[in-house]
Amino acid sequence: MVTRINIGPVHPSTHGVLRMVADIDGDTVVNVEPHIGFLHRGVEKLVETRMYMQSPVYMEKLDYVAPLSYDEIYVAAVEKAMGVEVKERAMYVRTILLELQRIASHLLWLGTMANDVGQFFTMFMWCFKDRDLVLRLLEEASGARMFYVNMRIGGLIRDLPPGFDERTIEVLGYLEKRIKKYEDYLEKNPIFVDRFKGVGVVSREMAIELGLTGPVLRGSGVSYDVRKDNPYYIYDKLNFEPQKRSEGDCFARYRVRMLEMKESIRLVKEALRNIPEGDALGMQIRLILPSAKSKIVCVSRELPRGECLMYMVSDPQRPYRLSIRAPTFINLAALSSIVKGCRTADIFAILGSLDIVMGDVDR
């Protein structure tokens, strides 16, 4: 007999306001229907009424776990519409900050995901403590702890502070040791491995058909990473390989994110070694009102949660239309296809491994 149960919209394991209606037969999931829209703020409409540089604050609130990445992609779209080149030093600084943001975002995911699968609060506390070290670096660079808004057209609001590189290297060295410790803690833990290995398998074909993106796609053996395949800033100069696993289960997605964190640490170190001297400052928006020609621009970036794409029809003063391809939106859309036939408790393991942020899903 099929029982229908309601989960959420306010539930500790749904990572925000997500409601799921699950049809279960005994303990086997027949269907899960995610209901979204509780956090819908109509950002795509809102930016049509604002001048170009008033919008980064809205963009940052989309993915509040990795705000800098959204800030950067929006500014990059405006730059492309205006035809402005980014200064060379600014490219390095942006890459460093973006990779630090990726580490911070993955650390938050690791902590909350471990909560979902029964590693109550040990990982959570560790990860939050370590994430704070990264946030402190970002705070040094931008002046704000969470919502930075430090991208400006052509560069940044300020250059890196003196001594930033030494402090970053120190934090990254510490994080390397910590990530090793996390791996030991989780992968030698039979409960965690049982909850994750072989659960929620997405085959390569299925991942492509469902349009999955980011670490979820790479966990299924497709090595598509915008940083490698459509490189921006200095990624083509860096020694970078996208991480992938072929198993396609929750454990593979977990491994991909762990490897990505290590890769990001390496990328930041390499970028810090090669960073050129010079000017990284962008336009001061108080003095210049940005204006662009009417054209269509399309910018694609690899965010911590997957590929984000901004399709902008620009007007002189404000975007005529901004369409955002949110990475978690499409990953969440695939949930009902992935969970079919799983156990009820696995819904949360799979949801945790998809790494959703409801602000990004609903927009």
Partner 1 sequence: MKIDRALLLEKARELKSQGYSYLVKITAVDYESYLEVIYMLRNLSERKDETLEVDVDPADAWVPTLIEDFKAADWYEREMYEMFAIEIKGREMERLLLEKWNGKAAPLRKNFAWNEPYEKGD
352's tokens:
């945790």
Q: Is 30 among the residues that bind partner 1 (CB under 8 A)?
A: no
> Of the ranges 40-48, 126-134, 148-156, 244-252, which one interacts with partner 1 (CB under 8 A)?
40-48
CB atoms within 10 A of CB 65: 23
In the three-class reduction of DSSP (H, G, I as helix; E, B as strand; rest coil), residue 341 is classed as coil
Helix (H) or strand (E) holding 75: helix 67-82
Distance of CA 165 to the CA centre of its chain: 24
The DSSP letter of residue 47 is G
Interface map 140-179 toward partner 1 (x if CB under 8 A): ----------------------------------------
Cβ of residue 325: shortest distance to partner 1, in angstroms? 4
Q: Is 35 in the site for partner 1 (CB under 8 A)?
A: yes
3-state secondary structure of 201: coil
Query: Is 19 a residue that touches partner 1 (CB under 8 A)?
Result: yes
Cα 229 from Cα 218, distance rounded (Å): 13
Whether the ω angle into residue 56 lies within 30 degrees of 0, i.e. cis, is no
DSSP 3-state of 77: helix
**Cα dihedral sign, 93-265-273-145:** positive
Q: Is 362 in the site for partner 1 (CB under 8 A)?
A: yes
SS3 call for 3 = strand
Q: Which stretch binds partner 1 (CB under 8 A): 50-58, 129-137, 281-289, 324-332?
A: 324-332
CB 109 within 8 A of CB 337: no
Could you tell me if 282 and 90 are in contact, meaning their C-beta atoms sit under 8 angstroms apart? yes
Minimum CB–partner distance for residue 210 and partner 1 (Å): 5
> Residue 205: what residue type?
E
Per CB under 8 A, the segment of 79-87, 154-162, 269-277, 308-316 that binds partner 1 is 308-316
Query: CB under 8 A: which stretch of 84-92, 179-187, 283-291, 304-312 binds partner 1?
Result: 304-312
Task: Examine residue 31 and tell whether it contacts partner 1 (CB under 8 A).
Answer: no
CB of 343 to partner 1, least distance (A): 24
Among 224, 232, 240, 254, binds partner 1 (CB under 8 A): 224
> Which residue, among 251, 139, 143, 243, has the nearest Cα to 194 in the 3D structure?
251
Which two three-digit tokens encode residue 144? 């704000």
Piece of 139-147, 282-290, 325-333, 339-347 that binds partner 1 (CB under 8 A) = 325-333
| Structure tokens that stand for 19 in this block | 């409601």
Q: Decide: is 333 part of the binding site for partner 1 (CB under 8 A).
A: yes
The dihedrals phi and psi of 302, each to the nearest 5 degrees, come to -95, 105
Residue 181-210 contact track with partner 1, rule CB under 8 A, x = bound = ---------------------------xxx
Query: In Å, what is the CA distance from 249 to each residue of 23, 55, 219, 244, 346?
Result: 22, 38, 7, 12, 12
CA distance 208 to 220: 9
Of 137 and 312, CB closest to partner 1? 312
Query: Which span (57-65, 92-100, 193-201, 317-325) binds partner 1, by CB under 8 A?
Result: 317-325
Candidates 143, 211, 276, 278; binder of partner 1 (CB under 8 A) is 211
Is residue 309 within the footprint of partner 1 (CB under 8 A)? yes
Per CB under 8 A, does 110 bind partner 1?
no
Which of 42, 143, 278, 316 lies at the binding interface for partner 1 (CB under 8 A)?
Answer: 42
Please give the residues from 230 up to 259 whose contact with partner 1 meets the rule CB under 8 A.
230
- Using CB under 8 A as the criterion, which residues of the chain lie in contact with partner 1 when the complex forms? 9, 19, 35-38, 40, 42, 44-45, 208-211, 222, 224, 229-230, 307, 309, 311, 313, 320-321, 323, 325, 329-330, 333-334, 337, 362
